[in-house]
Structure 1
């Protein structure tokens, strides 16, 4: 069974012991999930990017409800403002779409969790956090898919072969979202960082999406008051 990039990324974010999202994923995970949706559409030749914008190249539905909803949303968005002097208008580039789709990250995650439960990879549990607050957890049933994703990424990182575009994109998003410490020990990560950067920068779209996720996260951290 082949998982989509958003599904793969969500598995990498999940704490296998608790069934909760790993705290290391943090706020950037919303934007990484949005980037993964866009990356999957690009891999299916539905969208592309240039220096100024992200645009639809093929409106044909993919047959995946989550992807097709996003594809229709992009296709419906005007590329130019209704008025040329509109000060609120921004170019509809990768960053704009990641921020826009990222606002719906909670709903996207729930849809992805439901898929992974239906695939028999996770199970859904209802519980209480601190014995008071309702909480939903997703413990692992089968770790086969997660192990395969990690093994594929480790193979790319520790070998010199040119990676597939899918793996380059996923490594770029994992890097941008700060998830690499979940996969590699500190010393190993330091040694592998040059190869990770090389792989993540191979694809123009990977650079575009990865930079957008990273820039948004840095901006958020800058304006988030310290407690």
Structure 2
């Protein structure tokens, strides 16, 4: 399928408004979902391992700055922390993580940086899509999976769930397909739980995502944020 984009790059591309170059939904589910995508990649690369609902690093070294940042967090713990705690700790630097991902997409020629002014005085940056092929291929691939009711691989399963959790189904698949795709994604979880095709670590990531989102939303309510 389209290109060699990582899960976190695919997620950011789907979350961006292609023409205007901004993230459509700046909600807790998006930011924590992005953190979860980073953890999944680290799991796939053998940088971390899950033991029950806890996470531990297997190597202190990584090339990707997003992964380096997570390893730094893990090193601060005397005992392997729970996955949701790491996701919550990633919250403080998640905008830096997003910027690194966007910079990578700019360097690949998929996005371009555009400098603008808000209210004529506040400088802002936008990242519209200039090479739409990778995202179009990705959307088409995901649509085929849904239309043919296929069981996706773990990465695509997690991407579907991330899109669903942060309210991007209509943006990614179109409003006319929103109901059908949402039902497919809901059924995916039930089918995969029953079939055992999704590994325990990936199930742990999804459970931890929901817990971290709930915890952070509660913290913001209690703090008045």
TM-score for both structures, normalised by structure 2: 0.81
Kindly indicate whether the alpha-carbon contact (under 8 Å) linking 2:170 and 2:177 is maintained by their aligned counterparts in 1: no
Between 1:92-101 and 1:167-176, the stretch displaced more is: 167-176
User: Could you give the per-residue CA deviations for residues 29-60 of structure 1, whole angstroms, max 9, x where no partner exists?
Assistant: 2211111100111122332324331223x317
Q: Partner of 2:56: helix, strand, or coil?
A: strand
Q: Which piece of structure 1 moves more, 152-161 or 122-131?
A: 152-161
Task: Give 2:78's aligned residue.
Answer: 78
CA contact (8 A) 1:27 1:217 kept: yes
Cα 1:98/1:221, change in 2 over 3 Å: closer
Aligned match of 1:127: 116
Aligned to 2:54: 53
Q: Secondary structure at 1:17's aligned position in 2?
A: coil
Find the counterpart in structure 2 of residue 3 from structure 1. Answer: 5
Q: Which residue of 2 aligns with 1:176?
A: 165
Q: Does 1:32 align with 2:37?
A: no
Tell me what 2:99 maps to.
110
CA shift, 1:120, in A, is 0.6
Q: What CA distance in whole angstroms lies between the structure 1 residues aligned with 2:98 and 2:147?
A: 30
Post-superposition offset of 1:126: 1.2
Q: Is the 8 A contact 2:53 2:204 kept in 1?
A: no
Note the C-alpha offset of 1:124.
0.6
Structure 2 residues without counterparts, runs of 5 or longer: 193-197
For structure 1, the residue ranges without an aligned partner over 5 or more in a row are 81-91
Go from structure 1 to structure 2 and tell me whether the alpha carbon gap of 1:211 and 1:46 turns closer, same or farther (over 3 Å shift): same
1:85 corresponds to which residue?
none
Give 1:213's match in structure 2, choosing from 183, 186, 209.
209
Q: In structure 2, the residue corresponding to 1:135 is in which secondary structure?
A: strand
Which has the higher mean CA deviation after the structures are superposed, 111-120 or 152-161? 152-161
Q: CA deviation at 1:141?
A: 1.0
> As a proportion of its length, which structure holds more helix?
2
Deviations 1:89-117 (A, max 9, x none): xxx12211111112211111111111111
Q: Decide whether the 8 Å contact of 2:113 with 2:126 is kept in 1.
A: yes
Alpha-carbon spacing, 1:101–1:214, altered in 2? closer, same or farther (3 Å): same
Find the residue that maps to 1:162 and give its secondary structure: coil
- Alpha-carbon separation, structure 1, partners of 2:73 and 2:217: 29
**Conserved in 2, the CA contact under 8 Å of 1:25 and 1:178?**
no
